[in-house]
Homo-oligomer: A and B are copies of this chain.
């Protein structure tokens, strides 16, 4: 799957690529998928940058971490660059994910269409509540926690999501680690303690609101001619 990396070299270790670059690869991929769906076949680094608010130098530098892409005078072919981005992110292959917690957020995530589009699927859901175990939500059965290690092992699952209340999140993380999961998305608003070989990404749903309170506060400050919005 490396035909669009014309000078592949070594795939860099994740330690050598700043996390923020990997985040931007995700954003480039989203934009390319959107353009491709609209029928666009090629794009330049400056067009891609402009759409996302980055410079063309930033786009080229980010892609440069992973190889050489594009054609002189043409730019990038959307389909090739999408395949290359997914190769980088590992999402040309499907990723089954286990989810701990079948509350409202868990149920919402089961219906979230953005996962399948990037090749993620929630393969199994686990909950400590005996009343929930055995139920099926959106076609996915809720298992007891005891089944976690067996299902992770038999299906070769590497990723897990924690969608339990804050006070149970560390316990859920320990279970995922013991079952052999290597990466965890944590939706609970607490910091988890994990062994170094397990990657964790925390989702803090208030951060997006803060980006807006910043923007709106500063707009207000400008419109009032007042430099110290309080």
A: which residues have CB within 8 A of B?
A: 1-2, 8-14, 19-20, 22-23, 25-27, 29-30, 34, 53, 87-93, 95, 97, 103-105, 107-109, 111-115, 117-118, 120, 158-159, 161, 166, 182-185, 189, 191, 197, 199, 201, 203-219, 221-222, 227-230
- Please, how many angstroms separate the alpha-carbon atoms of A95 and B216 in the complex? 11
Contact of A203 among B27, B199, B201, B208 (CB under 8 A): B208
Least distance between A196 CB and chain B CB atoms (Å):
11
Cβ contacts under 8 Å, A182 to chain B: 216, 219
Contact B93 A205 (CB under 8 A): no
Check B205 against A183 for contact (C-beta < 8 Å).
no
Determine the distance from Cα of A53 to Cα of B107 in the docked complex, in whole angstroms.
Answer: 33
In the complex, are the beta carbons of B11 and A227 less than 8 A apart? yes
Contact B108 A104 (CB under 8 A): yes
Q: Can you name the residue of chain B whose Cβ is closest to the Cβ of A203?
A: B208
- List B contacts of A113 (CB < 8 A): 166, 189
Closest residue on chain B to residue A221 by CB atoms: B11
